[in-house]
Amino acid sequence: MLVLYHHPMSAASRLVRLVLAEYDEASEFVEELVWQRREEFLSLNPAATLPVMIDGENPPLVGGTTICEFLDETRGVLNRERRLLPENPYVRAEARRIIGWALDKLEDEVTRYIVQERVFKRQMPSAMGGGSPDSKAIRAARSNIKFHLKYIGWLASTRNWLAGDAISYADLAIAAELSVLDYLGEVPWEDNKPVKEWYARIKSRPSFRPLLGDKVRGLPPASHYVDLDF
């Protein structure tokens, strides 16, 4: 059985969880607090980043993009009707571009700051960087998300799914990022109807239900988080 080291507020981890659920892949999930720098976890990934997946006695698979590529090669290509990387090489390249946008640009400019300041600092001891949130960082992230929603809205309004005609890793990657922010009530859905409608489609998929059940100790989700119709 596959074992995934993750955190419920790690967007890359959520992406992998969505992919595993889309492929009906039985998995074991281990929640990891990376700032604790456990020796067992560091032996799997010295960089102390998430997600990390273990497949039997094989070397660890590290990072959302790496794991998704692995799952496509070992699961997706064997089930082409449900494959989450498009068959067309140009559409596949576009899906990979949007994945990069989600896990790099959106993560670096918005999600990472919000999660670090509002979630991780609450959980971390002061000696490890815990403490009061940085209001300037939060304000910057809240300003940046408007640009991202505008771009995602353009994609959603000009295509059936974000990368093309069928759902792909691109949709799951963006949805994973937005789901973390939505848990914290940080997505101004009213500002972009196409994004809200697209996200409602993703949110209604069976693969998304486990994410809607996530809970962070001492930090309940926004009231609309589990509502499929917002």
In 3D space, the residue among 226, 229, 224, 145 whose CA is nearest the CA of residue 192 turns out to be 145
Residue with tokens 């799997």: 44
For the chain, which domains are there?
Answer: 2-82 (3.40.30.10), 89-205 (1.20.1050.10)
**Per-residue model confidence (pLDDT) at position 127:** 87
d(CA 8, CA 15): 11
Q: What is the pLDDT of residues 188-219, one digit of tens each?
A: 999 899 999 999 999 999 999 999 999 999 99
Q: What is the pLDDT of residues 137-171, one digit of tens each?
A: 999 999 999 999 999 999 999 999 999 999 999 99
- Our measurement of the distance from residue 74's CA atom to the centroid of its chain's CA atoms, rounded to an integer in Å, reads 21
In 3D space, the residue among 37, 35, 5 whose CA is nearest the CA of residue 125 turns out to be 35
Pairing of β 27-31 and β 2-6? parallel
One-letter amino acid at 57 equals: E
**Per-residue model confidence (pLDDT) at position 229:** 82
> H/E element holding 144?
helix 135-158
